[in-house]
Amino acid sequence: MVLTEILARNARVYGDRIALIERDPGLNRRREITWEQFYRQSNAFSNALINMGVAKGDRVVHLMMNCLEWLPLYFGILRAGAVAVPLNFRFEAPAISRCTNLCEAGIIVFGEEFTERITQVKTELDKSVSKYIYAGTPDKCPDFAIALSEALQGRDPAEPDVEVNPWDGAGIYFTSGTTGEPKGVYFLHRQLEFACYVENRHHNQEHSDNFLCIPPLYHTGAKMHWFGNFIVGARAVILKGVSPQAILEAVSEEKITIVWLLVPWAHDILVAIENNELRLQDYNLKQWRLMHIGAQPVPPTLIENWQKVFPGQQYDTNYGLTEATGPGCVHLGIENTHKAGAIGRAGFDWECRVVDDYGKDLPPEVPGELLVKGPGVMEFYYRNSEATRSVLKNGWLHTGDIVKKDHDGFFWLIDRKKDVIITGGENIFPVEIESYLMTHRDILDAAVIGLPDRRLGEIVAAVISPKPGRSLTEVQIMDFCAEIPRYKRPRKIFFDSVPRNPTGKIEKPRLRKKYADSAAG
């Protein structure tokens, strides 16, 4: 079944049961909708789009913060036969314009947080966009837009007469841009459907499960993890705000069973408990069966500490990338916690290889590029055939990530190919040093980058964020790093916050640009 058929099935079977809950601690607000309401709202928006002239295959930009309306509007785009283009809510005005025009989108549906950014580039957007739909507080609707409430007025909540099949276009998801300009990843409905089965196979969601969704829904990671609940009609909670207290309150009060965290959020929870800012006895957490992490390397010490605080709780991690329909092409498995730190083995119905620069398969323990193959691999980069050819070869997706496979068949992520530091002819993998730094009891977060050096080509630099209330010095860090080989030790130490994008990935180009002039010449 395509996603829209799964939604229709959920409405038939679980119609009056809760589908989605929004919790907004900042506004002290809680809202919910049933599967029937979800379905009817999506259909009404589909019919509104069709009334505006949207035809099968047209692109519709979806630019909103996480909220209760996000998914019904997204499914409305799909049910109209259109291609959904969810945009990163951190995109500044020029990026919004570039991505929208690249997709030749005719309609933008946007939240009130984006009015100013859209206004800045509206002249450029008007080259392709004919309608702007404002999904925010009605009295703040800009003159150039149609309020969502007006667009929906009188619209039929029944399914539109548009055939949607697995081979139709479904989405253009832009990459995070951590290694360059974002590229538009084009998916068919069959690839999104496959993601449902992968996630459910990996985490065994049942109708009684409840998933806490914290990361941004525009990203494949959050939505594809939710897909595992979606396919069995299980509920989910959309949490606005990521404080440790808000997370534990949501888990306790909504009887959450599954939480997907990013590494910084898991760290924050442990630090808050360590500092007695949170007391576990104040929360009902006994039903919380699974905590899983993805989107970035996971320090083994983090999982060791987590399991001391939450003994008996299942742990898992998934490796994925936008081009592979999000998480799951590599999967650790809840039965393999003893391999914490590894990203896992090939996921359900996926194949993986480790190759050298010439495409030759490498033996265990030898680092090389990870290649993946499976039903979830993207069709192409939209309107970018050159970039498509560079990563899709004979059905294999070249991930650009360096891994090694151990003798048990588990893959260990070493680093992004583009982030490897070459100093004096030696290859250094930043993730290895970052994982070591994260074992220091006073370090909250760390990033390692290469900075230009006339003599060595590059030198290793570390950006370190201490835990709240802790102080560190450069000498202390240098002494701590005496345990690792000399050529891998940081030559420069900066105490600063570690910038991460909404999916938790370190924004290393931003750090390299910020500290480029600080390297010793």
In a domain, 504, yes or no: yes
Specify the pTM.
Answer: 0.84
Contact 376, 195 (CB under 8 A): yes
Q: Tell whether the model's pLDDT for residue 495 goes beyond 60.
A: yes
Lowest mean pLDDT among 28-32, 295-299, 325-329: 295-299
Higher-pLDDT residue of 177, 125: 125
Mean pLDDT score of the chain, rounded to an integer? 92
Looking at residue 511, what is its pLDDT? 87
Q: Tell whether the model's pLDDT for residue 413 goes beyond 90.
A: no
Instruction: CATH number of the domain at 50, please.
Output: 3.40.50.12780
Looking at residue 177, what is its pLDDT? 56
Q: Could you tell me the pLDDT band of residue 520, with boundaries at 50, 70 and 90? A: very low
CA distance 84 to 49: 12
Looking at residue 161, what is its pLDDT? 95
Residue-wise pLDDT for 10-43, tens only, equals 999 999 999 999 999 999 999 999 999 999 999 9
Q: For the CA atoms of 195, 196, 199, 200, what is the dihedral angle to 10 degrees?
A: -150
In a domain, 262, yes or no: no
Higher-pLDDT residue of 384, 427: 384
Residue-wise pLDDT for 228-264, tens only, equals 999 999 999 999 988 999 999 999 999 999 999 988 7
Q: Could you tell me the pLDDT band of residue 424, with boundaries at 50, 70 and 90? A: low
In a domain, 254, yes or no: no
In a domain, 47, yes or no: yes
Choose the final residue of a domain: 152, 187, 222. 187
In a domain, 354, yes or no: no
Choose the final residue of a domain: 187, 213, 236. 187
Residue 25 carries which side chain, given as an amino acid letter? Answer: P
**Percent of the chain clearing pLDDT 70 (strictly above):** 96
Choose the final residue of a domain: 187, 205, 220. 187
Measured from the Cβ of residue 128, the count of other Cβ atoms closer than 10 Å reads 18
Bridging pattern class, strands 457-466 and 443-453: antiparallel
Measured from the Cβ of residue 65, the count of other Cβ atoms closer than 10 Å reads 15
Residue 244 CB contacts under 8 Å (≥ 6 apart), including other chains: 265, 268, 269, 271, 272, 273, 277, 278
Instruction: CATH number of the domain at 503, please.
Output: 3.30.300.30
| Number of independent structural domains in the chain | 2
Looking at residue 110, what is its pLDDT? 98
**Percent of the chain clearing pLDDT 90 (strictly above):** 74
In a domain, 288, yes or no: no
Distances (CA, A) of 174 to 96, 184, 389, 446: 11, 4, 17, 26
Residue 492 carries which side chain, given as an amino acid letter? Answer: K
Higher-pLDDT residue of 115, 471: 115
Q: Could you tell me the pLDDT band of residue 180, with boundaries at 50, 70 and 90? A: low
- Across the range 273-294, mean pLDDT stands at 94
Q: Tell whether the model's pLDDT for residue 296 goes beyond 80.
A: no
Contact 310, 269 (CB under 8 A): no
Looking at residue 422, what is its pLDDT? 75
Q: For residue 137, what are the domain limits? A: 35-187
Higher-pLDDT residue of 502, 366: 366
